[in-house]
Structure 1
Amino acid sequence: MAAKKRVLSLGHVPEHNAETVKQFYDTFDVISTTKEERERSTFLEGLRTRKWGEFDAILRCFWYEGDEMEPFDSELVPLLPDSLKIHSSCGAGYDWMDIPAYTKRGLSEPRIQFAAVLAVNTSSGFLYCNGASAPAEAVADLALYLVISVFRYLTEAQLAARSGSTETWQKARAVSAKAQNPEGQTLGIIGLGRIGYLLAKKAYHGLDMNIQYHDIRRRTQEDEASVQATYVDTLEGLVQTSDCVVCCVPFEGQKIFDATMFSRFKKGSRFVNIARGSLHDEAALVAALKSGQLSAAGLDVQEKEPEVHPELIKMGNVTLTPHIGGTTVESGVAFEKLAMDNITSFFQTGKALTPVDGTIGT
Structure 2
Amino acid sequence: MKRILVTRPMPDRVLEEARRHFDVEIRDDNTPLKPGQMRGALALYDGILPTLGDMFQADVFTEAENSRCRILANFGVGYNHIDVAAARAMGIAVSNTPGAVTDATADIAMTLMLMTARRAGEGERLVRAGKWPGWNPTQMLGLHVSGKTVGIIGMGRIGQAIAKRCHFGFGMSVVYHNRSAKPLDFDARQLGSIEEVAATADILVVAVPGGAETRHLINAEVFAAMRPTAHFINIARGDVVDEAALIAALQEGGIAGAGLDVYEREPIVPDALKAMENVALLPHLGTAALEVREAMGLMAVENLRAFFAGETPPNLVN
Three-state SS of the structure 2 residue aligned to 1:333 is helix
Q: Does 1:75 align with 2:59?
A: yes
Q: Does 1:139 align with 2:105?
A: yes
- Written as runs of structure 1 = structure 2, the 5 A alignment for 1:158-237 is 158-166=124-132, 174=138, 176-177=140-141, 179-220=142-183, 224-225=184-185, 227-237=186-196
Distance 2:35 2:154 in 1: 36
TM-superposed CA distance for 1:255, in Å, is 0.9
Deviation by residue 1:195-226 (Cα, 9 ceiling, x = unmatched): 22211121112111111222223333xxx23x
- Written as runs of structure 1 = structure 2, the 5 A alignment for 1:25-44 is 25=22, 29-30=23-24, 35=29, 39-40=33-34, 42-43=36-37
67, 85, 88: which one pairs with 1:103?
A: 85
- Answer yes or no: is the 8 Å Cα contact 2:176–2:197 preserved in 1: yes
| CA RMSD in angstroms, aligned pairs only | 3.0
Q: Which runs of 5+ in 1 are unaligned?
A: 108-123, 358-362
TM-superposed CA distance for 1:134, in Å, is 2.1
* Identity in percent: 29
Letter in 1 for 2:283: P
Change (3 A) 1:306 1:17: closer
Greater shift after overlay, 294-303 or 227-236? 227-236
Three-state SS of the structure 2 residue aligned to 1:156 is helix
Three-state SS of the structure 2 residue aligned to 1:79 is coil
Three-state SS of the structure 2 residue aligned to 1:90 is coil
Letter in 1 for 2:193: T
Normalising by structure 1, we get a TM-score of 0.76
Distance 1:292 1:203 in 2: 25
Change (3 A) 1:356 1:156: same
TM-superposed CA distance for 1:125, in Å, is 2.9
Distance 1:42 1:77 in 2: 11
Letter in 2 for 1:301: V
Distance 2:304 2:111 in 1: 34
TM-superposed CA distance for 1:5, in Å, is 4.5
Letter in 2 for 1:197: Q
2:122 paired residue number: 156
Higher relative contact order (CA 8 A, sep 6+): 1
- Answer yes or no: is the 8 Å Cα contact 1:78–1:105 preserved in 2: no
- Answer yes or no: is the 8 Å Cα contact 1:135–1:327 preserved in 2: no
Greater shift after overlay, 254-263 or 269-278? 254-263
321, 342, 345: which one pairs with 2:306?
A: 345
- Answer yes or no: is the 8 Å Cα contact 2:77–2:98 preserved in 1: yes
Q: Which runs of 5+ in 2 are unaligned?
A: none
- Answer yes or no: is the 8 Å Cα contact 2:7–2:33 preserved in 1: no
- Counting matched residue pairs gives 315
Distance 1:301 1:295 in 2: 19
Distance 2:290 2:161 in 1: 19
Normalising by structure 2, we get a TM-score of 0.86
TM-superposed CA distance for 1:180, in Å, is 2.5
- Written as runs of structure 1 = structure 2, the 5 A alignment for 1:83-94 is 84-94=69-79
Q: Does 1:252 align with 2:211?
A: yes
Change (3 A) 1:346 1:231: farther
241, 245, 249: which one pairs with 1:288?
A: 249
Change (3 A) 1:175 1:45: same
Greater shift after overlay, 80-89 or 305-314? 80-89
Deviation by residue 1:328-354 (Cα, 9 ceiling, x = unmatched): 111221111000111223344632222
